[in-house]
A and B are shown apart, each in its own frame.
Chain A
Amino acid sequence: MKKSLWSFGTREVVFAAIGAALYGVLSYATNMLQIPGAGNVAIRPAVAIPMFFGVAFGPIVGFISGILGNIIGDLLSGYGFWPWWDLANGLMGFFPGLIYLGIKNFKDTSDILKAEGMVIVGVLVGIGVAAISELWVSGVDFATTVSMNFIPSVTTNLVNGLILVPILMVAYSAIQARSGR
């Protein structure tokens, strides 16, 4: 079933598009539900979507779900276009995708832990890249970007991802048997 880490056929095109649309719409929708933000970084539970799509369908699908989903979310909210934050979201889906071939059973604890580990890597690298870009673009200093961008973003994305990715994985294990492709 799982062919290779980097294949990009019809199935991957479809799931990348679905992941992106889900991420975009859900982050817009949960934004509307007024979940109180911590500091300036809104809590976006939907960030678990690109992470999970990475784990379930591979790094390319995860990456596109994240980057395109974030673009869509910003388009829907009318926030414009912020390339370095889009890239950060792509990376948060990409790294969990690297474990794709290592996941045999989506409800097995050790497989879930593997995915969680990659979620942590993805968040650190992704947000790190965005924070460094912020250093360069806004001209703030290192202390500002660490305290204003890096720490709050890493915290909220990690909490969201670590809680919701396992829930999605367990749910997915139940429908896996029903999809025959």
Chain B
Amino acid sequence: MIANFGYRPHQSILEKIDPRARWIFAFCMLFSIVLFWDLRILSVFFVITLIQFFVSKVTWQETKRAWIFILVLSSIMIFINTIITGVETVGGTIRGGTPLFSLKIPLFETFYVLTVERLWFALTQYLRIISIASLFIILPFTMDPRLYGVTFKGLGFPDKLAYTMDLAFRFIPTIARDFNVTLDAQRARGFEIDKGKMNIFQRIRRMAPLMVPVTMNSILAGEDIANAMDLRCFGLKKRSWIENLHFKTGDFVLIGFSILILVVSLYLRFGLNLGDFWMPGMS
């Protein structure tokens, strides 16, 4: 197993933008999207996030796995919510409605009713989830992991916390290698992950021969690392960072745009009380 990040330079405009501005954009969009259930407003967000996705030049091949994962998961949830349980959705916005078909449920003497409204609501859910997903799915592929620490430092996180991120990234390849060595070592002792029929408890216990050595080895290494850091004065005073970020005009434009979206969204929702569930034919 090789633990690799998906990041590679895509030569897109997106990568020229300061990562801090991109995080601000992503979060402003997230908080705006979740305010609304109005298909018309959500479509605007959907278009913006899709534009970002295509501008990023991230390929289908790279994100296939993630998309399938998210679509399958949300489809199951939406299916169950629409067909089976979803009676009380968002404070009962769509209680009642136009029946599409109904099914008499034996024994209970009630009718199961699937309404047109429920289907429109399911579509709205998809739109929201896909917008949020395309907002965040591209991040790992377009953001240099080297910049995470300094980015969060720049967003106001304390030195030590920001450095923890850099340090965690430093350990990833080492731990991945150690895991491989341990896996080989245990296999050479006849260990097989999937050995015949086992119940779930035995299956989990079977992870111990892999997890214990890797974890304990890392903890033992941790002490040396902490010494090495103390000897080089870590955490004794405010540190400087050689990776540095500069906001450029474009970054300010993006941040301004993000804040504008959030402010407008908040005003629409709470000032004008707009944005509840909407479907064609509703006023």
Contact = CB atoms under 8 A, between A and B. Distances in A.
**Within the complex, are A and B direct neighbours (CB within 8 Å)?**
yes
B69 interface: yes
Nearest to A24: B172
Given A25-B3, A76-B3, A178-B220, A167 B208 contact: yes
B179 interface: yes
A123 to B, nearest CB: 15
A172 B208 CA distance: 13
A76 to B, nearest CB: 6
Nearest to A81: B136
Contacts, number: 221
A139 B168 contact: no
B219 A139 contact: no
A141 B85 contact: yes
B230 A10 contact: yes
Contacts of A72: 168-169, 172
Contacts of B103: none
B154 interface: no
Contact of B179 (A26, A148, A159, A167): A26
Contacts of A159: 200-201, 204
Given A14-B226, A75-B5, A79-B69, A26 B125 contact: no
B88 to A, nearest CB: 5
B136 A22 contact: no
Interface in A63-84: 64, 68-69, 72, 74-83
B63 A78 contact: yes
Given A9-B235, A138-B125, A22 B175 contact: yes
B66 interface: yes
B176 A25 contact: yes
B211 A78 contact: no
B88 A171 contact: no
Interface residues of B, number: 84
A45 B207 contact: yes
A48 interface: yes
B219 A78 contact: no
A144 B203 contact: no
Contacts of A121: none
Contacts of B66: 77-80
A17 B219 contact: no
A163 B204 contact: yes
Contact of B129 (A43, A46, A138, A164): A138
A95 interface: no
Interface in A12-70: 13-18, 20-22, 24-26, 28-30, 32-33, 35, 38, 40, 43, 45-46, 48-49, 52, 56, 64, 68-69
Given A8-B160, A69-B168, 16 more contacts: A10-B230, A10-B235, A11-B222, A14-B225, A21-B175, A32-B1, A43-B200, A77-B65, A82-B136, A138-B128, A139-B125, A140-B86, A141-B89, A143-B85, A163-B205, A172-B216
8 smallest CB-CB distances across A and B, nearest first, come from A17-B167, A21-B171, A80-B137, A81-B136, A143-B85, A17-B168, A80-B136, A45-B207
25 contacts: A13-B163, A13-B164, A17-B171, A18-B171, A21-B169, A22-B175, A22-B214, A22-B215, A25-B3, A26-B175, A45-B204, A45-B211, A69-B168, A72-B168, A72-B169, A74-B140, A78-B66, A80-B70, A80-B133, A83-B30, A137-B128, A141-B88, A142-B88, A175-B219, A179-B219
Interface of A: 8-11, 13-18, 20-22, 24-26, 28-30, 32-33, 35, 38, 40, 43, 45-46, 48-49, 52, 56, 64, 68-69, 72, 74-83, 134, 136-144, 147-149, 159-160, 163-164, 167-168, 171-172, 175, 178-181
